[in-house]
Structure formats: structure tokens, C-alpha cells
Amino acid sequence: MSISVAIAGATGYAGGEILRLLLSHPAYQSGELTIGALTGASNAGARVGDIMPHVAPLADRRIEATNADTLSGHDVVFLGLPHGHSAAIAKDLGEDVAIIDCGADFRLKDAAEWEHYYDSEHAGTWTYGIPELPGNREVIKNSRRIAVPGCFPTGGTLAALPSVAKGLVEPDLSIVSITGTSGAGKKAAVPLLGSEVMGNLRAYNTAGKHRHTAEFLQNLGVYAEDLKVSFTPVLAPTSRGILTTITAPLKDASLSEEAAREVYREFYASEPFVQILAEGLQPQTQSVIGSNLVQIQVEVDQRSGRLLMTSAIDNLTKGTGGAAVQCMNLVTGLNETAGLPQVGVAP
């Protein structure tokens, strides 16, 4: 079997992370997987080594223009494009091509929710790319169009899912996620300048305005009627990583912490990229940077009668590029964990 892949938007953070992971993938090392077209917009014609000097093995390759002609003919096409750009490319690629989109264009099922948050026409819905959602792994395996989740909903959904699905909490979630600057993408923006970010913490898109709120509701609303989600993202002076805390009222105030943790252990017992931490340990971003791992802790706040769920992910790996490669592995019949580190680079 030979698998050829192309990456649209290869010079962005999502595309660059996919490329980093593919270069270490055992199928690439064996020659079973080949890396074809690497495309971009403003960087078309540039050497990879000049734009992404860390991608040394492909330094002399040239970035090509992003269009259907360049991307067609590959078995798998990754789209690392800004929101609103994937649909136009996807419609010109044949059904025989597996497309894995890292943008938001096809994540939401509800057209009204899309139009509310993105202020444009809904392009449609693709298979949602979290294999850890119950029953979703087989759906991904049989799909040719996959929408990689947003980075916030990845860590937050996996942290809250067992408690909501197993009825441990009331359907009223308060979610706070602290994120590094790479989550905003590789673009020039004043709020992301070093002098604006260093030594500073800032909440943004607060009070239900953040677009990922719709994904939380979509993912977890399946398991709870009238689900409420209050989501607050916070920008921190770091490049990668997301630390998420979630609180919700307990349905049974007598639930012990060990019992709650056991529910999580059983729920994720067969998941290679989910680690439920032992009592007394806390998720931290430095433990997951560079890996496809999700670290989760669950605790009972007896005085407030609430469950506390905490998760840490690397927003560019499990939150974007790693999720895309994980889905590629499933679609192409490769080992799901192939090329995806389960060990972080701490410190």
C-alpha cells in the first residue's frame, strides 16, 4: 500500500505541525507514505527551509499555490486554511480523495449556530474528528470528509464527557481555558505582539461570544437535555498548550472523588491518548507539549457540591495537527497511534 498526502496551508501553524508529525511517521520512514504538494498563498514559490527552518528534511522543497489542480491526485489532503476557505477547495476535489479539514467550515451540524458565530452561509457538515467520542472511531474510519475539532473543544469535551454521559453532574458547565498564542494562527495581529502578551493575561470573546461554544454544546448536548455551557478563554504568555478547568454541580452530593475518578478510568480505559491522573497530580501543559496526549484530573469540591475537571493538551498537536494525523491513520487503515508521540517534552 502506498499513501500520498498533500498539505494545503503547509506554512501555517496547523499545516506545519502536520508536516512535523508526518516526517516522523513510521509509514513515511518506510516509504509507505509520501509527502506530495505543500501549498500556501503568500508563500507560494518560497523554499520550505526559508519559511520553516525547523523542517530540515524538506528544506529544498518549494511551496506551491493552493488550488484543486495542485492538490488533486493525492490519497489524503490536509486543509490548514483560514475559516471560510476550505469549502471552495473541497468541492473541486473528487470523492476518492480523503479530506481532513483543520478549519471550522464543516464542524457544526446546526446551520443557525454556524451563521450566528461565523456570519456566513453554512457549507455543510462532515464527520467530526474526535475518535474518543463514543462510537465515533468507526464513523471516522469509513469517512472521506473529516472536520478536525477546535482546540478548546478537544480538551474541554474530553474532560467533561464522562461526567455528562454518565450523569455525574447537572448539565450546567462553567469552562475556563488558558491558551498560548499559537491558537490564533500564524498571522500579524497587534494583540499577539510580544509586548502585548508578555507578562500579561487577558480573557477574550467572553460571555458566550467564542465560536467554540457551539462545539461544546454540540458534543456534550447529545448526553444531556437543556445543556448550558459558559465558556471563557484566556490568553497567556506562552506559545503552545491549553489548560482547561470545568466545574459543574454534582447530581449526587455524596459522590466520592475516587468513585468519580473510577468512572473516568473505565470510560477511557482503551484510549491510548487519554491519561487519567492519580490523586494529587494535576495536568500541566509542559507534560503534554509535543505529544498527542490529553491529561485529565477529576476532583470533588465537597463544600461547593461541584465536580472539578481539569485537562491539558498541546493545542497544535492533539488540538489540531495530531488530531488530523490520528484521523488520517484511521481513514487509511494505519495503526491509529502511528507517528503520534504519547510523551511530552517537559521541561
Catalytic residues: 151
Of 137, 156, 62, the closest CA to residue 327 belongs to 137
Alpha helices in 221-332 (DSSP H): 257-267, 322-332
Q: Which of 3, 57, 51, 5 is nearest to 30 (CA)?
A: 3
Find, among 283, 67, 187, the residue nearest to 275 by Cα: 283
**Residue of 303, 279, 277, 287 whose CA lies nearest to 341:** 287
DSSP 208: T
Nearest to 58 by CA among 12, 97, 11: 11
For residues 146 and 160, what is the distance between their CA atoms, to the nearest angstrom? Answer: 23
CA separation for the pair 162, 144 (Å, rounded) = 28
What residues have CB less than 8 Å from 302, skipping those under 6 apart?
none
Copy the grid coordinates of residue 308: 472539578
Give the bridge partners for 202, in sequence order. 235
Which residue, among 140, 138, 144, 142, has the nearest Cα to 129 in the 3D structure?
A: 140
On whether the CB atoms of residues 300 and 256 are closer than 8 A, the answer is yes
Q: What crossing angle do the helices spanning 151-165 and 257-267 adopt, rounded to 10°?
A: 110
Q: Using the 8-state DSSP alphabet, how is residue 321 labeled? A: I
Residues 6+ apart with CB under 8 A from 240: 180, 182, 285, 289, 314, 315, 316
The CA distance from 77 to 218, in Å, is 26
